[in-house]
Amino acid sequence: MAYQHMFRKDLIAFHWTAEDETQLFKQVAKELLAKGLVKDSYLAGLMDREAAFPTGLITKYLNIALPHCDTVHIETPFVYLVRLEESVTVKQMGDNQCMEARDFFFLGIKDPAEQVGLLQALMDLFMQEEFVAQYKQMDNAEQVYQLIMENLNN
């Protein structure tokens, strides 16, 4: 299944600052709500889901986090990519250990059947050394969008 339709250039943000994960989630929820992509309940749903099932992921080349919530909080499917200036502490998927991450992919999944496939597609990308090397050098939404479009599900 192709997930390119979930990526948009206006949903790629760089140079954000946040004191912690909670502040970041609040900023993201505000942006997504303003764009009409989520319901008012999104922030609470995101916080609850992340507390129960953390989404930090240590990959060989880059630590990332894939926060998401139940589909009931989503209006339109999306992936919102945010790169922070400085890492914040998040909990790791599976074992709940603390880790640092500055690259976040907020997943707005409307169809539950897409969730596992999208998570796998993103994890596959971040296990590719060449992709990650290019991604880490970029701080331009257009460049990152093109890179993802060229490499997702290839």
CB 61 within 8 A of CB 137: no
What does the pLDDT average to over 108-122? 85
pLDDT per residue over 49-97, tens digit each?
999 999 999 989 999 999 999 999 999 999 999 999 999 999 999 999 9
Into how many domains does the chain fold? 1
CA distance 119 to 136: 19
- At 121, which CATH number? 3.40.930.10
Q: Specify if 154 maps to a domain.
A: no
Q: Specify if 50 maps to a domain.
A: yes
pLDDT at 56: 95
As given in the structure block, the two tokens for residue 57 are 């992921």
CB 9 within 8 A of CB 150: no
Please tell me the total number of residues recorded for the chain in this structure: 154
Torsion sign across C-alpha atoms 68, 40, 72, 78: negative
pLDDT per residue over 3-33, tens digit each?
888 999 999 999 999 999 999 999 999 999 9
Q: Specify if 51 maps to a domain.
A: yes
The model carries a pTM of 0.94
